[in-house]
A and B are shown apart, each in its own frame.
Chain A
Amino acid sequence: MKRIDRSSKVRTHFHQAKWDEPIIFELSTPGERGVSVPKAGQAVASAVGDGVSDLPPALRRRERPALPEVSQNRLLRHYMRLSQMTLGADVNIEIGQGTCTMKYSPKVNEQLAKKLWEMHPLQDEDTVQGILQVFYETDQYMREISGLDKFTFQPGGGSQAIFLMASLVRAYFESRGEARNEVITTLYSHPSDAAAPAVTGYKIVYLQPDPQTGLPDPEAFKAVCTEKTAAFMVANPEDTGLYNGQIGELVKHAHSVGALCCYDQANGNAVLGVARAKEAGFDMCHFNLHKTFSSPHGCSGPACGATGVVEKLIPFLPVPSVEYDGKKYYLDDGAADKRYGVAKVREFMGVAPVVLKAYCWIRMLGPNGLWQATKTAVLNNNYLVKRMMSIPGISAYYENGNNQRVEQCRYTMEQVAKDTGVTSGDVQRRMMDFGMHFWTSHHPYYLPEPITLEPTESPSKKDIDEYADTVAYVIKECYEDPETVKTAPHRSTIHQVDERWMDDPEGWAITWKLYNRKYND
């Protein structure tokens, strides 16, 4: 028998699972059931009646709900197949989701989090002391990491955390009787730093990146930061992976005109143990526990945007908060010290399994471990930068010698596109044929043919090499066989999607009901 050669780092025979799986509603068979619930016994029935007649007539359904009727094993098979078609963090080397920090989530923490399934947030405090302690201590850790004075875990995601920060800004100025109506952000901060304050009614003023440095122009900031400015909301480092050393100066100016400063640290991978929101002068910040603190991304599922504030803003934080009286952990609704807070952004005090996973991660690493995680993430990224920049046709803007990238980098394949006509969107699709993600940029593109990659501290040198070799392989294909790249993916779950309909709301069908209404001939 001949030894099989597995020396290539590029998975040229990768193939994503692919089924022509119907959607769950199409699997429905009238009368089919997953669980047959037995009829209540006579004693139960006579005690509680039929369980429906007690409801007011207006609340009772006249028709059965239009739910799919599917047996357990068909249901299980359906979702198992769908799960196999995903290109998740456990399938690919998760370097290609720049700005989104897809680090490894230790499986032991997942197992611990499962223990919470049987708990309920309305349980009596005495029966949930353990998880309350986890909330309380995670708050203490977050204070230490950021230098700020109190955290809430209520936001169920990063954008909700930014929304909460914008709401805190509004509540603060309303309490002072000040009418400020503008929020300043930068174009390389996350789009939610503009979108969330816009939802709360603020006008948004964007700062552009300087074409040489890639950082916002401090003079432009001073020109627009006035007594109308409610807040400066910014990420640092921004999506380019460049750390703005002048951020303290901008914060100082904002404070001089009375504005608040909000630090988007959703991705805090470059700063743990290195730089804190407090020392830069920020009034509040948020960390995505599902990015920086290892909890996996939820894809619109459970997440947590831990939001912290300085002392003067504590009265505005949403309630309840978890407190400790020296003997017992308890929920404080803030009534005693008239701390009513802004409106809740979510029920209860946060997604407990996500907070627990972050707590475990912090406890496992300790303060030095967190610092080491950041150092490794920055080292990994700079190794990847060297590898990427050695690929012909790939370069990066703002490379003026002083601009070291920290945890991520936005590259450009402008030259490849000029030479071959292949775009970074094409390469994004082709990378899926090798089981890899590859992200371009938010829209509109400020840099031509962008690529944004971030390794985090999780991958080994071998992993990074495998990823970089795969990118190099595809870029070579751009020159030698551009059609294959342009028509990709070929080995993925789905071929190119016809997105024409996405521009037209008339064509959208985002529910089964709507789909039936619009597309049943």
Chain B
Amino acid sequence: MTKIGLIVNPIAGLGGSVGLKGTDGMVEEALRRGAEPLSNARAAAALQELLPLRDTLLICTGADQQGGSCAGSLGFRTRILHEASERSGAADTRALAKKLIEEDVCMILFAGGDGTAADIYEAIGEKQPVLGIPAGVKIYSPVYAATPKAAGELARSYLTGALTSLLEAEVLDIDEELYRQDLVDVQLRGYLTIPQEKRLMQGRKTPSPLSEAAAAHAIAGMVIRDMAPDTCYLIGAGTTTRRIMERLELPNTLIGVDLICNGKLVESDVYGDRILELTEGWPLKLVFTVTGGQGFLLGRGNQQLTPNVLKKIGKENMIVVATQKKLASLGGQTLRLDTGLEELDQQLAGYYRVITGRDQYVVAKAE
């Protein structure tokens, strides 16, 4: 019997159907406008794809609308681990996620939106393979499959062993208040581990591309090789930059900025004025990557790099790293700068040689 977890955020997606661009703090209003809960139907569509495995699965989940009724109605065996409060919220998602880890399930399926993914990250970090069933109003985080059916298929492939590779995908969250005013402000909240879809190919003319991990490893090797002595390096947020810290055998802050010098850690999770204080009188360089799903170079996911810090570093000391696959996913679009100071954005605009592998660069425009 294989144990898997299921978390349904019953209110995810409520706001969208009634024009609210998100559900954070708007549940009452959404219901007043006649919104229909959708996430259980979405979760059911994903679970349909697991029916061929029904006799071998035990679905550990929350009671009723948090997953129990949806899994039960399809005839799956269930184990209820959590009773949600009257109107299930973020706290219930987190509580159930923690219980699923204690239950030692082999993967967790969750139906929701960006907020749900952030709650799960907060509760369990990168410990467990998970996979999102899209049910929220806004889905920016690539931890979600494209459709509920695709989520089910991917989960089935993973559970039957047809897919074995895992990937760390970004959990992004958006400020819904600003989004309602048509301003998109995406924050990197962390990373979740998801099964990686590998497209089956046949008769191809090119060998398998490097896995993301291997590409990041090569990038890290190149950055370290070219590091100058007696120079401070800020290592920005992200999984690509994390490999640099790993290869240097230094502790790393995944969604923060670390300061190193001569291969040693100066201080973890530094920010703003503290960076200026620590690096006074030292040459300073920055190694960072493109964050968020929208190709932000600066202004999202690395707010620790305040305008004063960026001014001290200067464009010529900025080392951008990214895997080719990540750049390819942006389709050649201009990288975005939003430091908060227009004048600084203009100074930093222009062409960057993004390190994409050993002695390999891709030219990207930023503005």
Q: Are A423 and B199 in contact (CB under 8 A)?
A: yes
CB neighbours of B153 from chain A (8 A): 421
A489–B332 contact, CB under 8 A? Answer: no
Tell whether, in the assembled complex, residue A444 and residue B200 are in contact, meaning their CB atoms are under 8 Å apart.
no
B262 close to chain A: CB less than 8 A = no
Pick the contact of B164: A191, A440, A500 (CB < 8 A): A500
In angstroms, Cα B204 to Cα A97, docked, is: 10
In the complex, what residues of B have CB within 8 A of residue A210's CB?
332
Docked Cα-Cα span, A209 to B364, in Å, equals 10
Establish whether residues A206 and B360, one from each chain, have CB atoms under 8 Å apart when the complex forms. yes
B79 at the interface (CB under 8 A from A): no
Chain B positions within 8 Å of A446 at CB level? 328, 331-332
Inter-chain residue pair count (beta carbon < 8 A): 109
Given contacts A217-B365, A502-B208, are A489 and B202 in contact (CB under 8 A)?
A: yes
In the assembled complex, how far is the CB of residue A277 from the closest CB belonging to chain B, in whole angstroms? 24
Give the total of A residues in contact with B, Cβ under 8 Å. Answer: 49
Would you give the shortest CB distance from A190 to chain B, in whole angstroms? 10
Docked pose: A223 CA to B203 CA in angstroms: 38
CA distance A194 to B324 in the complex (A): 13
B206 contacts the other chain (CB 8 A): yes
- CB pair B361 A207 closer than 8 Å: no
Across-interface contacts of B327 in A (CB, < 8 A): 208
> Are A499 and B201 interface neighbours, CB within 8 A?
yes
- Asked whether, in the complex, the Cβ of B362 is within 8 Å of the Cβ of A428, the reply is no
Describe B's contact surface by its main secondary structure: loop
Contact of B328 among A87, A425, A445 (CB under 8 A): A445
Residues in A neighbouring B350, C-beta threshold 8 A: 223
Question: Is B52 among interface residues, defined by CB-CB distance under 8 A?
Answer: no
How close is A222's CB to chain B, nearest CB, in angstroms? 9
Expressed in whole angstroms, the Cα–Cα distance for A126 and B200 within the complex equals: 55
Known A421-B147, A503-B211: A496·B363 in contact at CB below 8 Å: no
User: Is there contact, CB below 8 Å, between A207 and B363?
Assistant: yes
Q: Does B328 contact A206, Cβ atoms closer than 8 Å?
A: no
Among the listed stretches A38-46, A197-205, A312-320, which one makes contact with chain B, having 4 or more residues with CB under 8 Å of it? A197-205
- Chain A residues within an 8 Å CB radius of B353: 205, 224
* Contact string against B for A residues 16-28, beta-carbon threshold 8 Å, 1 for contact and 0 otherwise: 0000000000000
Cross-chain contact B208 with A425 (CB below 8 angstroms): no
Q: Flag whether A187 is at the interface (Cβ < 8 A).
A: yes
CA of A29 to CA of B259 in the docked complex: distance in angstroms? 66
Cβ of A91 under 8 Å from chain B: no
- A97–B205 CA distance with the chains assembled, in angstroms: 9
Residues of chain A in range 419-447 having any CB-CB distance to chain B below 8 Å: 421, 423, 425-426, 428-429, 432, 437, 439-440, 442-447
Interface size class of B (residues with CB under 8 A): 35 or more
Contact (Cβ within 8 A) B332 A203: no
Residues of the A chain whose Cβ atoms lie less than 8 Å from the Cβ of B359? 198, 202-204
Contacting residues, chain A, for B200 (C-beta < 8 A) = 425-426, 429, 496-497, 499
Assess the B324–A444 pair: CB atoms within 8 A: yes
Provide the residues of chain B in CB contact with A208, threshold 8 Å.
327, 332, 362-364
- Given contacts A100-B205, A446-B328, A446-B332, whether A205 and B365 have CB atoms under 8 Å apart is no
Identify which of A191, A202, A204, A224 contacts B351 (C-beta below 8 A).
A224
> Which residues does chain A contribute within 8 Å of B149, judged by CB atoms?
421
Contacts of B203 in A (CB 8 A): 87, 428, 432, 437
Is B362's CB under 8 angstroms from A187's CB?
yes
When the two chains form their complex, are residues B150 and A421 in contact, meaning their CB atoms are under 8 A apart?
Answer: yes
What residues of B have a CB within 8 angstroms of the CB of A500 in the complex?
A: 164-165, 198
- Give the distance in Å from the alpha carbon of A117 to the alpha carbon of B356 in the complex: 47
Nearest Cβ in chain B — how far from A328, in angstroms? Answer: 43
Instruction: Scan residues 16-65 of chain A and give those whose CB is less than 8 A from a CB of chain B.
Output: none
With the chains together, A439 CA to B204 CA distance in Å? 7
B229 within 8 A of partner (CB): no
User: Given A444-B325, A446-B331, A503-B211, is A220 in contact with B205 using a C-beta cutoff of 8 Å?
Assistant: no
Q: Is B184 an interface residue (CB 8 A)?
A: no
Q: Of all chain A residues, which has the CB nearest B362?
A: A206
B146 contacts chain A at the CB level, 8 A cutoff: yes
Q: How far is the CA of A220 from the CA of B350 in the complex (A)?
A: 9
Say if the beta carbon of A219 comes within 8 Å of chain B.
yes
* Chain B residues positioned under 8 Å from A202 (CB to CB): 359
Bound together, the chains give a CA A426 to CA B153 distance in angstroms of: 15
Q: Are A205 and B363 in contact (CB under 8 A)?
A: yes
B281 part of interface (Cβ distance < 8 Å): no
Looking at the assembled complex, report how far the CB atom of A97 sits from the nearest CB atom of chain B, in whole angstroms: 8
Assembled-state Cα–Cα distance A442/B207 (Å): 9
A211 located at the interface, meaning its Cβ lies under 8 Å from any Cβ of chain B in the complex? yes
- Bound CA span A514–B266, Å: 48
Q: Are B363 and A206 in contact (CB under 8 A)?
A: yes
Which residue of A204, A217, A425 is within 8 Å of B360 (Cβ)?
Answer: A204
The B307-355 residues at the A interface (CB cut-off 8 A) are 324-325, 327-328, 331-333, 350-351, 353
How many Å from the CB of B277 to the closest CB on chain A? 34
Contact pattern, A 495-517, Cβ under 8 Å of B = 1, otherwise 0? 01111101100000000000000
**Is B25 close to A, CB under 8 A?**
no
Minimum C-beta distance from B134 to chain A (A) = 13
Report B-chain residues with C-beta under 8 Å of the C-beta of A206. 356, 360-363
C-alpha spacing A100/B153, complex, angstroms: 34
The CA-CA distance from A206 to B323 in the complex, in Å, is: 13
Task: Report B-chain residues with C-beta under 8 Å of the C-beta of A498.
Answer: 162
- CA distance in complex: A472, B325 (Å): 30
Across the interface, which residues of B come within 8 angstroms of A499, CB to CB?
198, 200-201, 208
Tell me which residues across on chain B come within 8 A of A191, comparing CB atoms.
206
Which residues of A from 425 to 477 have beta carbons under 8 Å from B? 425-426, 428-429, 432, 437, 439-440, 442-447
Which residues on the B side are within 8 Å of A447 (C-beta)?
A: 331
Q: Is the CB of B208 within 8 A of A203?
A: no
Contact A224 B202 (CB under 8 A): no
A489-B202, A499-B208 as given contacts; A204 in contact with B361, CB under 8 Å: yes
Are B201 and A211 in touch, CB under 8 angstroms? no
| CB atoms of A439 and B201 under 8 A apart | no
CA distance in complex: A217, B209 (Å): 25
Q: Tell me the smallest distance from the CB of A164 to a CB of chain B, in Å.
A: 20
Residue ID in chain A nearest B323 by CB atoms: A444
Contact of A432 with B202 at beta-carbon distance under 8 Å, contacts A220-B351, A224-B353, A446-B332 already known: yes
| B165 surroundings in chain A (CB, below 8 A) | 500, 503
Q: How far is the CA of A496 from the CA of B162 in the complex (A)?
A: 11
Q: Is the CB of B201 within 8 A of A428?
A: yes
A443: chain B residues within 8 A (beta carbon): 206, 208-209
> Which residues does chain A contribute within 8 Å of B363, judged by CB atoms?
205-208, 217, 220-221, 223-224
A188 — nearest CB in chain B belongs to which residue? B332
Instruction: Find chain B residues with CB under 8 A from A219 CB.
Output: 351
Q: Which residues of B contact A429 (CB under 8 A)?
A: 200-202
9 tightest Cβ-Cβ pairs between the two chains A and B: A443-B209, A223-B351, A444-B328, A208-B332, A425-B199, A203-B359, A444-B325, A206-B362, A220-B363
Interface positions of B (Cβ within 8 A of A): 146-147, 149-150, 153, 162, 164-165, 198-209, 211, 324-325, 327-328, 331-333, 350-351, 353, 356, 359-365
A and B contact pairs by CB, cutoff 8 A, 11 listed: A100-B205, A203-B359, A204-B359, A204-B361, A205-B361, A206-B362, A206-B363, A423-B199, A429-B202, A437-B203, A496-B200
Add 15 more A-B contacts to A207-B362, A217-B363 (CB < 8 A).
A187-B332, A198-B359, A205-B362, A205-B363, A224-B353, A421-B150, A428-B201, A428-B203, A442-B206, A489-B202, A499-B200, A500-B165, A502-B207, A503-B165, A503-B211
